[in-house]
Structure 1
Amino acid sequence: MMRLLYSYVRSGVSLCLLTLVMLAILFAKTAVAQSIRIKDLVEFDGVRGNDLLGYGLVVGLNGTGDGLRNAPYTEEIMTNILERLGVNVTGEQFRPQNVASVIVTATLPPFARSGGRIDVTVSAIGDADSLLGGTLVMTPLTAADGDIYAVAQGTIIAGGVAARGAAAEVIEGVPTAGVIPSGGRVEREVDFDFSHMTQMRLALRDPDFTTAGRVERAINQHLGRRAAQMLDAGTVLLDLQSAGDRSPAHTISRIENITVEPQQKARVVVDQASGTIVMGSDVRISEVAVSQNNLTLRVEETPIVVQPNPFAEGETVVVPRTNVAVEEEAGPGLALVEAGTSLSDVVAGLNALGVSARDMIDILKSIKAAGALHAEFVVR
């Protein structure tokens, strides 16, 4: 590593880059010893939310609602609502532009009680231009079992804005979707008896045998008895009766803040669309030689117009002429990337190639294909 840094200084690399490399080394050393709470690593069996879904109507739009000719279901639901309110609109011809049909979604959190409030999301399903300033009419929200668990209503906060004129329009964000903070009221509770549970499974969000074993040891050491048992890479079984607490809730409150140092697979994640590269601290690379040149392909069309001689019979024609050229920029030659024993070594070695982030993605793919990159390679 010191030889690599020395070569950086000799090649004229700025002191700022050298400082960044040293900070990367310090960060890599401190990040390894970081501990995470168990509540941030696992999901407790049974402690989960439930998805809710509803179909409703938004009113009060400023001429940005559905065109009822293209969205007849909007007219149908509006007719049903008015008839329930005692307004007979059968056979009437009305074409308002201030209403829109929407799909309403929400998540019923665990242990939600009747009368509680939840946030809801509203999304247009017709040809409405914007939901800005609209009001959602009372909409029942059902779960997968078909029962109604909440009712949503309120003013929508849209996530964008749209403006249009006779010849142009400007759309910023997504004005056809919005949220209603605390817009849903819980009407029905999920039947779940947490107090009578005798065992509970802790499901790791990122399954790993080493992490599961550390969670097991940390819980048993904290409780002073063997109450936790690792079943597989993603599950730790907790015996609530062996914990000796008054209730399962007391046991969970004791163990959820225990800190554990997680161990994950070495992984490199790249996003080709944005040119983003993210590496884990356990990524290692073997010694490998890399060379890359840039190719530029140019195609130029220079058609020629050919005309007949004066007073001669014939017609004017266009003769195509195409010039094709391939240019190859001279690269730095074959560069040696030394074996890295830490993330900072890997970053410093790859930066020595002096290529852009998008070129770096292609280099990492080639290094992985050569068997020199010892990490899981994920492309998004």
Structure 2
Amino acid sequence: MNWASRFRIAGILTVTLTSCLLVAVPFASAQSIRIKDLVEFDGVRGNDLVGYGLVVGLNGTGDGLRNAPFTEEIMTNILERLGVNVTGEQFRPKNVAAVIVTAALPPFARSGGQIDVTVSAIGDADSLLGGTLVMTPLTAADGEIYAVAQGTIIAGGVSATGEAAKVIEGVPTAGVVPAGARVEREVDFDFTTMTQIRLALRNPDFTTALRVETAINQEIGRGVARMLDAGTVLVDVARADRASPAHALSAIENVAVTPEQRARVVVDQASGTIVMGSTVRISEVAVSQNNLTLRIEEAPVVSQPNPFSDGQTVVVPRTGVALQEEPGPGLALVQGGTTLSDVIAGLNALGVSARDMIDILKSIKAAGALHAEFIVR
């Protein structure tokens, strides 16, 4: 039995069994997801913070102050604020490094709470391992200080340097300080005064938005939810008959909904990775692929003159070119309505490599037989 026949039979059998399974349990493959995992609540969001600080206590792996003058400047400012006059002094330690500190202020964070911070070197420091971040104010986009960070850095890598070799594992010039920032200022937001809250779908889809609306109205009643577009559902919390908007959202966020996704195929050419959705379908199409091998060999020949003759020794080029095309399986007929997973399973069974499989998928898409969004990274 040739490749085409085996592929055709495998595809037909797989489609038949799959169709029977879908008829018996039509929603067996669907999964219910909580609304809190599908949407973002209007007003319930974090805020990004950033600061510029100094790390001390490094074991000779800090910034070279000749190459990073801003490190010397911030170190001078910190020492002067502590009452140490270093004006005109010449000191160039290797145990300090200038860093950028970033954090995310979570929603409803209160004064005194602690948040994690990320510390990244901006100079030529080799490693932040074992360093301590000195008190660093963190500001938001409005320029106000919302948190202050300080603490010991946990670096995510290791660096070892010798006289003639250097080994780096991970990224030692970046690290984190768990619970390293203390919230000093709260975001001015009164959630209790809201009468309407918009739910923003992370993956906009009209069908999913309609299902969210229906599920909320069935759970709370009174027609409190209304779909505005593919990505927004408006909830009238004033009509929800709950003690507060927070109580209304607590009743909504755990309601289960079955989301609908667009058919999509994502391929990564660098790694040969293929990711596809279960809703991908292909129309009837014929596929053929052959392996072509081109071999070029150079075998130069040395030509020497006869003894005692007036001649020269020359090198005569000899090139051998061979073009070999391995016998292919011919055309393989892929039945219409076949799922892409059936096609991949058939190609895997025949030993088709991932890169060849990506080329086949590209060709099927170009032929208009692949009914899905095709994304190449």
TM-score by length of 1: 0.88
Following superposition, the deviation at residue 328 of structure 1 comes to: 3.0
Paired position in structure 1 for 2:188? 191
Paired position in structure 1 for 2:262? 265
The 8 Å contact of residues 8 and 333 in structure 2, kept in 1 or not, is answered as no
The 8 Å contact of residues 337 and 350 in structure 1, kept in 2 or not, is answered as no
Question: More deviation in 335-344 or 187-196?
Answer: 335-344
Aligned CA RMSD, in angstroms, stands at 2.9
Report the Cα distance in structure 1 between the residues aligned to 2:308 and 2:75, rounded to whole angstroms.
77
The 8 Å contact of residues 282 and 340 in structure 2, kept in 1 or not, is answered as no
Gap change, CA 1:311 and 1:94, over 3 Å in 2: farther
Following superposition, the deviation at residue 352 of structure 1 comes to: 5.2
Does 2:123 correspond to 1:91? no
Following superposition, the deviation at residue 338 of structure 1 comes to: 2.3
Question: More deviation in 309-318 or 152-161?
Answer: 309-318
The 8 Å contact of residues 367 and 373 in structure 1, kept in 2 or not, is answered as yes
The 8 Å contact of residues 8 and 335 in structure 2, kept in 1 or not, is answered as no
Does 2:279 correspond to 1:282? yes
**Structure 2 unmatched ranges of 5 or more:** none
The share of aligned pairs that are identical, in percent, is: 80
The 8 Å contact of residues 153 and 177 in structure 2, kept in 1 or not, is answered as yes
Following superposition, the deviation at residue 32 of structure 1 comes to: 2.4
Report the Cα distance in structure 1 between the residues aligned to 2:303 and 2:78, rounded to whole angstroms.
73
Question: More deviation in 92-101 or 295-304?
Answer: 295-304
Report the Cα distance in structure 1 between the residues aligned to 2:129 and 2:112, rounded to whole angstroms.
27
Question: More deviation in 261-270 or 322-331?
Answer: 322-331
The one-character-per-residue Cα deviations of 1:165-200 (angstroms, maximum 9, x if unpaired) are 111111111111111111111110000110000101
The one-character-per-residue Cα deviations of 1:141-165 (angstroms, maximum 9, x if unpaired) are 1000010001111111111111121
The residue type equivalent to 2:127 in the other structure is: S
The one-character-per-residue Cα deviations of 1:336-376 (angstroms, maximum 9, x if unpaired) are 22234445434334435531111111110110010111111
Gap change, CA 1:88 and 1:229, over 3 Å in 2: same
The 8 Å contact of residues 338 and 349 in structure 1, kept in 2 or not, is answered as no
The 8 Å contact of residues 284 and 346 in structure 1, kept in 2 or not, is answered as no
Report the Cα distance in structure 1 between the residues aligned to 2:127 and 2:200, rounded to whole angstroms.
41
The residue type equivalent to 1:77 in the other structure is: I
**Of residues 141, 149, 157 in structure 1, which corresponds to 2:138?**
141
The 8 Å contact of residues 8 and 334 in structure 2, kept in 1 or not, is answered as no
Paired position in structure 2 for 1:378? 375
Report the Cα distance in structure 2 between the residues aligned to 1:241 and 1:39, rounded to whole angstroms.
20
Q: Which has the higher contact order (CA 8 A, sep 6+)?
A: 2
Report the Cα distance in structure 2 between the residues aligned to 1:374 and 1:223, rounded to whole angstroms.
38
Gap change, CA 1:296 and 1:170, over 3 Å in 2: farther
Paired position in structure 1 for 2:236? 239
The one-character-per-residue Cα deviations of 1:105-134 (angstroms, maximum 9, x if unpaired) are 100000000010101001111111111111
Q: 1:157-306 to 2 correspondence within 5 Å?
A: 157-300=154-297
Report the Cα distance in structure 1 between the residues aligned to 2:54 and 2:42, rounded to whole angstroms.
36
Following superposition, the deviation at residue 296 of structure 1 comes to: 3.4
Following superposition, the deviation at residue 331 of structure 1 comes to: 2.4
**Structure 1 unmatched ranges of 5 or more:** 10-17
**Of residues 121, 128, 134 in structure 2, which corresponds to 1:131?**
128
The residue type equivalent to 1:364 in the other structure is: L
Report the Cα distance in structure 2 between the residues aligned to 1:113 and 1:339, rounded to whole angstroms.
58
Aligned residues: 365
Following superposition, the deviation at residue 326 of structure 1 comes to: 4.0
Report the Cα distance in structure 2 between the residues aligned to 1:140 and 1:311, rounded to whole angstroms.
92
Question: More deviation in 29-38 or 104-113?
Answer: 29-38
The 8 Å contact of residues 7 and 346 in structure 2, kept in 1 or not, is answered as no
Report the Cα distance in structure 2 between the residues aligned to 1:317 and 1:95, rounded to whole angstroms.
66
TM-score by length of 2: 0.88
